[in-house]
Structure 1
Amino acid sequence: MHAATLGVALVLGLAACAPKARPLTGAPTRAALPTFAVDPRPHVLEFTWEYKDETFEAAGEGAVRVQGPDRARLDFFLRNGMAGGYAILIGDTLSTPGGDLVKRLLPPAPLLWASLGRLALPAAPDTAARMDGDTLRADLGALRGKDASGADGRAWRIAVVGNGLHRVERIENGKVMEWVERRQEANGRWRVHYVHERGKRRLTIALTDTRYVEGFDAAIWRRS
């Protein structure tokens, strides 16, 4: 097979692994999209995590040190006290100097911020939004009069339930490539799911504790 043809076939095959984005449901609305930010007080989120893909599984504990409005450091530790790794998220830049494990685990910056409850998507020319009961769903991208299910190129879909950011999806050419979903359990703690559909990667994070602190040493934000 010609190299160019093989390349096209490979791309189409990978895209086929991702589910189609469904059309937005509900009544059209022009309500302004809510803003979501992290708590401005310095705090530490402790969690347990589980990761799985087609060739690798891992689990352990971790912590996120969050400094509003747009700084977070994530530390992961493998089960049984083994070494893990870390990542630094500042604005829209995600650095993973802590090794390949963390690079393998984490979503891109917009979805990682969504997992922490902050909405920080790239600027988009078009927005389509609908209300379905207590759920606001909105698509952002170059929609050209459509929603993300029929748009060309990259788009984002968000779901807001009540007053909380519930889900964010990255959509490419009408296919859902990856997503983050946040759910508050009966005990009040958050559980976050990240799924990369095409890569068949899954990460689950369960919050176990939240601690507020006076501040953080500036050294934790250094990328090397």
Structure 2
Amino acid sequence: MSTSTTAKWVIVLGALLVATSCRPPRVAPLQGAPVPAQQLPTGTLPGGTRQVVFRWELKDGDMLARGDGVARIASPDSVRLDFFLGGGFGGGAAVLIGDSLQVPGPDAARKLVPPRALLWAALGRLDIPAEPDTIVRVDAGVLRADIGAPVRWRATFHGDTLTRLERVDGGRLQEWVERAADRSVQYRNEAARRTLSLVIQRSDAVPPFDPAIWRLQ
């Protein structure tokens, strides 16, 4: 084999290895004892209106950005998010009401907001498109459900609290949101290798919001 041919094969193999390493991970089968699907909690927002103050960090490839944010939540199905970039260099906003998610502005702002179902999961609410089949298992007190055939979603509950939601496609984990006991929330897009981390600083019950906050210019 000539030197040039060998070099071409090395390049091809290298490209294949890179492509393989960038593929989202496969989802392992559910473990534990089966339970009826009717026992799957739904996860709901706390009643009333709340204002949540948080810090955020976005890692998108080689890019790193940080800042502060505010979530204004009106039960049962409305939330407004405002992100402020550190140093006062800009920000973005999003409004989610039921099935409608509005994220105006540049692409950078959209990267700060997970898709609708995962954004609801970040707030503790399970609200996903209807799927025909659900398999639920309990392992060491943790309830997990595979939703859809083939599986489209995997939800994890500790008690009645939604702690993780995964979006699955082709047997691979595409995106996920996880809520931790330390009041942190993480969103990960595996294919894009993008991670958004939130740390809640304060969560307060507040009077009803001005209706104008639900309209973005």
TM superposition score normalised by structure 1: 0.84
SS of residue paired to 1:107: coil
CA deviations 1:127-153 (Å, max 9, x no partner) are 01111011001011124xxxx3xxxxx
Separation of aligned partners in 1, 2:212 and 2:88: 24
Aligned CA distance change for structure 1 residues 165 and 39 (closer, same or farther; 3 Å): same
Q: Choose from 163, 166, 169 the match for 1:169.
A: 166
Query: In the alignment, what sits opposite 2:192?
Result: 199
Residues 126, 141 of structure 1: 8 Å contact kept: yes
Separation of aligned partners in 2, 1:216 and 1:74: 13
Q: Structure 2: which 5+ residue stretches go unaligned?
A: 1-18
Residues 14, 198 of structure 1: 8 Å contact kept: no
Deviating more after overlay: 31-40 vs 173-182: 31-40
Is the counterpart of residue 27 in structure 1 residue 5 in structure 2?
Answer: no
Residues 174, 191 of structure 2: 8 Å contact kept: yes
SS of residue paired to 2:65: strand
Query: In the alignment, what sits opposite 2:116?
Result: 109
Residues 43, 210 of structure 1: 8 Å contact kept: yes
Structure with bigger gyration radius = 2
SS of residue paired to 2:131: coil
Give the C-alpha shift of residue 92 in structure 1.
1.7
Q: What amino acid is the match of 1:214? A: P
Query: In the alignment, what sits opposite 2:213?
Result: 220
**1:1-224 mapped onto 2 (5 Å cutoff):** 13=19, 17-30=23-36, 31-143=38-150, 148=151, 155-185=152-182, 190-224=183-217
Aligned CA distance change for structure 1 residues 53 and 157 (closer, same or farther; 3 Å): same
Q: What amino acid is the match of 2:160? A: N
Separation of aligned partners in 2, 1:100 and 1:209: 28
TM superposition score normalised by structure 2: 0.87
Give the C-alpha shift of residue 100 in structure 1.
2.6
Give the C-alpha shift of residue 206 in structure 1.
0.3
Aligned CA distance change for structure 1 residues 43 and 211 (closer, same or farther; 3 Å): same
CA deviations 1:105-147 (Å, max 9, x no partner) are 221000000001111111111001111011001011124xxxx
Residues 43, 160 of structure 2: 8 Å contact kept: no
Q: Structure 1: which 5+ residue stretches go unaligned?
A: 1-12, 149-154
Separation of aligned partners in 1, 2:158 and 2:84: 32
